[in-house]
Structure 1
Amino acid sequence: MTPEKIALVQDSFAKVAPIAPQAGAAFYDRLFEIAPEVRPMFKDDLTDQAAKLMTTLGVVVKGLTDLPKIIPVAEQLARRHVSYGVTEDQYGPVGAALIDTLSAGLGDDFTPEVKAAWEDAYATLSGVMIAAAYHEETVA
């Protein structure tokens, strides 16, 4: 990711952070709308899950300036998600729900450039996570 794209992601996330609880809830509402098959993976009360999502997203966004430092954390998170039943094809709807949530939350501030930066960030990290969880050889 370019420094410019990283700045766009970080600046736009700073605008979402004050409404983190609402953004987290909106994300899951959108995810379950476009991928209802994932709903059984979650508890009925998503308050804690939404808070964890926004906290994790904040850490990742902050860490974009030092990708080598956050990649091992993302890989570990991805491997853990496999045990929850997450499949490789579910990363697509998660990305779509994220983009839709950011678009709704940022309104006019979600410019085409901001959208492209977020799509790049998600593609980068989801690619790392998918590779770690589903494509790495296990060393015995």
Structure 2
Amino acid sequence: MDEKAISLVQDSFAKVVPIKDQAAEIFYADLFETAPQVKPYFANADMTEQGSKLMATLAVVVNGLRDLGKIVPVAEQLAVKHVDYGVKAEDYDAVGASLLRTLEKGLGDAFTPDVKDAWTGAYATLAGVMKTAAYSES
């Protein structure tokens, strides 16, 4: 990711932080509506706690975009752990789409085409790393 894209992601995420609880609710509502096959992964989860974890993880990733060497190992470990919950490689696409729709709803007019492209690139990079870690033959 180039510096402009990193700045766009970080600046836009700073606008989400004040509404992080609502953003998490929007995200999971969207995810469960558009990808109902993932809902069983959360059958025993406290969704308020899950939303807090989601936003905390996003914060770590967003803040670490300038030093991917620090966040990639954490993302890889997280991906491997998600396999135990039943997460499939194709679920990452549904999550990415829900993330973009959540950002669009939460940011409104501030979700410009450039911001969307930056987030799309950031998510594609991270999801690629995670899928490789979790599903590659070793």
Verify same fold: TM over 0.5.
yes
* Structure 1 segments unaligned to the other structure (5+ residues): none
More displaced stretch, 119-128 vs 33-42: 33-42
User: Which residue is 1:3 aligned to?
Assistant: 3
Post-superposition shift, 1:130? 0.2
* Structure 2 segments unaligned to the other structure (5+ residues): none
User: Which residue is 1:22 aligned to?
Assistant: 22
Q: Following the alignment from structure 1 to structure 2, what is the Cα–Cα distance between the partners of residues 10 and 44?
A: 28
| Percent identical residues | 61
User: Which residue is 2:81 aligned to?
Assistant: 80
Q: Following the alignment from structure 2 to structure 1, what is the Cα–Cα distance between the partners of residues 7 and 83?
A: 31
Q: Following the alignment from structure 2 to structure 1, what is the Cα–Cα distance between the partners of residues 28 and 91?
A: 13
Q: Does 1:49 align with 2:50?
A: yes
Post-superposition shift, 1:40? 1.2
Q: Following the alignment from structure 1 to structure 2, what is the Cα–Cα distance between the partners of residues 53 and 22?
A: 12
Over aligned residues, Cα RMSD in angstroms? 0.9
Query: How does 1:81-120 map onto structure 2 within 5 Å?
Result: 81-120=82-121
Residue 29 of structure 1 aligns to a residue in which SS? helix
Residue 67 of structure 2 aligns to a residue in which SS? helix
Q: Following the alignment from structure 1 to structure 2, what is the Cα–Cα distance between the partners of residues 55 and 97?
A: 17
Post-superposition shift, 1:45? 3.8
What is the number of residues matched between the two proteins? 137
User: Which residue is 1:133 aligned to?
Assistant: 134
TM-score, normalised relative to structure 2: 0.97
Post-superposition shift, 1:89? 0.6
